[in-house]
A = this chain, B = another copy of it.
Amino acid sequence: MSEPDKRPIAVAVLGPGTVGSQVVRLLGDHAKDLAARVGAPLELAGVYVRDTSKERPGIRSELLTADAHGLVARADVVVELMGGISPARELILEALAAGKSVVTANKALLAAHGPELFEAADRSGADLYFEAAVAGAIPIVRPVRESLAGDQVERILGIVNGTTNYVLDEMSQRGLSYEVALKQAQDLGYAEADPTADVEGFDAAAKAAILASLAFHQRVGLDDVYREGISAITAADVIAARDSGQVIKLLAIAERADGAVAVRVHPALVPASHPLAGVHGAYNAVFIEATAAGELMFYGQGAGGVPTASAVLGDIVSVARHRASGGRGPRESNYAGHSVLPIGDVHTRYSVRMSVPDRPGVLASVAEVFASHGVSIETVRQIAAQGTAQLVISTHRAPEKDLAATVADLRHSDVVGEVLSVLRIEGE
């Protein structure tokens, strides 16, 4: 690395979409400020687009190029905002191999090919920054990689998908059904026409894998993440939760467990007093429990072109400063070799809501089913209705496989009308 000089640092932007166009705009708007913070001016070397004939508002046409390889070759810093696996992966590897610094917001790529990319960065000593890949504008990657580098992360509970938080929050605040809340999210542009990636938890699972890799210093891939979405959540679930002083949130969870780590995404009942319960609308938040620091929470906008561009710019400044004045950022050395627990071995708490006949002896029979699997009951709440009743049973922590076997037995039990919902309890 060279000593500080005033040679401009050439920035290539790959992908002129919602985020990319805002990054280009901010590079121009804040040029003077950025130069002061970097110690050298940032110069936009070009913007890779597939189709150079299409006009891109705010980007001078001579900066557009369809030659991604040529652009990477003449850049110091490569900013990948194309999304998807290919050609993003190849272009990033090409850049890192040539010692270029890389900034990316590509969560899918990092979740699928993170180790390969980090190894490529390590081989050439190049920076690979990705703040915008998890929770958009919220600084979460940097705090986990750097601020907590002298601490030990015990557990991360994250609301990392704004679409699902919006849907669940509307259901909770306004009593909407899942279908109506989702339709509203689509009308407002919070959800896509095909909402699968969000509502089935795929997006959150990619972010969970990235957060777990960082927090536990080891490889955690998408396949290691157990995943359930929110499409089965009903208005009745939301009401039952409220009556128990809880709210339902889709959580990305990564935790240490008996020398292993457990990573999962699923809807969960969270106490109304928990800081995550106050995260409304499309906002994101990441709650961290660390051995020394205790409880921390990071809150903000998890998506959107402008907020995400802020996170990308912060990364650009960091890697550009390294180029201007030497040094590099933290490496992702995945030195820890904890195993990742299969979901059946993870210890969680269940809340099971079921309809039962309203007659003596039912609770004893139901309790016997839990006991037969070694699952200990913490609370029982009964809601009477005409002729039948609902039982809401919350368990103590137990292995998932025992909880699942309990629920399977309940579904076939004579004394249970219907198992109406099964939700895990977190944050207590």
Listed in ascending order, the chain A residues whose CB lies under 8 Å from chain B are 1, 22, 26, 30, 33-34, 36-37, 39, 131, 137-139, 142-143, 146-152, 217, 275, 278, 290-301, 304, 306-307, 309-314, 316-318, 321-322, 325-328, 330-331, 333, 335
Known: A36-B335, A142-B142. 11 other contacts (CB 8 A): A30-B152, A33-B217, A34-B150, A138-B296, A139-B143, A142-B143, A148-B310, A275-B278, A292-B313, A294-B306, A326-B326
Measured CB to CB, the closest approach of chain B to A292, in angstroms, equals 4
The answer to whether A327 and B142 have CB atoms under 8 Å apart is: no
Q: Which 5 A-B pairs have the closest CB atoms?
A: A327-B327, A150-B313, A139-B147, A292-B310, A293-B310
- Which of B298, B301, B321 sits near A295, CB closer than 8 Å? B301
Measured CB to CB, the closest approach of chain B to A371, in angstroms, equals 37
- Residues of chain B contacted by A290 (CB below 8 angstroms): 310
- Residues of chain B contacted by A39 (CB below 8 angstroms): 331
- Which of B294, B300, B318, B331 sits near A293, CB closer than 8 Å? B300
Of chain B, the residue at the smallest CB distance from A290 is B310
Whole-angstrom CA separation of A420 from B146 in the bound complex: 48
Measured CB to CB, the closest approach of chain B to A23, in angstroms, equals 9
A292 in contact with B152 given A1-B327, A322-B327, A326-B326 (CB within 8 Å) = no
The answer to whether A318 and B139 have CB atoms under 8 Å apart is: no
23 sample A-B contacts, Cβ–Cβ < 8 Å, listed by A number: A1-B326, A37-B333, A131-B147, A137-B294, A138-B296, A139-B146, A146-B314, A146-B318, A147-B311, A147-B314, A148-B314, A151-B313, A292-B309, A293-B307, A294-B304, A294-B306, A296-B300, A297-B299, A297-B300, A299-B299, A322-B327, A326-B327, A327-B328
- Residues of chain B contacted by A36 (CB below 8 angstroms): 217, 333, 335
Whole-angstrom CA separation of A33 from B36 in the bound complex: 35
A148 in contact with B152 given A1-B326, A299-B299 (CB within 8 Å) = no
A149 in contact with B299 given A217-B36, A292-B22 (CB within 8 Å) = no
A299 in contact with B275 given A22-B292, A311-B147 (CB within 8 Å) = yes
- Which of B142, B151, B152, B333 sits near A147, CB closer than 8 Å? B142
Of chain B, the residue at the smallest CB distance from A283 is B295
The answer to whether B325 and A327 have CB atoms under 8 Å apart is: yes
Measured CB to CB, the closest approach of chain B to A412, in angstroms, equals 43
Whole-angstrom CA separation of A294 from B23 in the bound complex: 15
Whole-angstrom CA separation of A83 from B331 in the bound complex: 33
- Residues of chain B contacted by A143 (CB below 8 angstroms): 139, 142-143
Whole-angstrom CA separation of A311 from B290 in the bound complex: 11
Of chain B, the residue at the smallest CB distance from A150 is B313
- Residues of chain B contacted by A301 (CB below 8 angstroms): 293-295
Measured CB to CB, the closest approach of chain B to A39, in angstroms, equals 8
Whole-angstrom CA separation of A253 from B152 in the bound complex: 32
The answer to whether B328 and A325 have CB atoms under 8 Å apart is: yes
The answer to whether A294 and B300 have CB atoms under 8 Å apart is: yes
The answer to whether A26 and B292 have CB atoms under 8 Å apart is: yes
- Residues of chain B contacted by A311 (CB below 8 angstroms): 147, 293
Measured CB to CB, the closest approach of chain B to A130, in angstroms, equals 12
Of chain B, the residue at the smallest CB distance from A285 is B297
The answer to whether A150 and B292 have CB atoms under 8 Å apart is: no
- Residues of chain B contacted by A142 (CB below 8 angstroms): 139, 142-143, 146-147
- Which of B296, B314, B326 sits near A151, CB closer than 8 Å? B314
- Residues of chain B contacted by A152 (CB below 8 angstroms): 30, 33
- Residues of chain B contacted by A275 (CB below 8 angstroms): 278, 299
The answer to whether A150 and B330 have CB atoms under 8 Å apart is: no
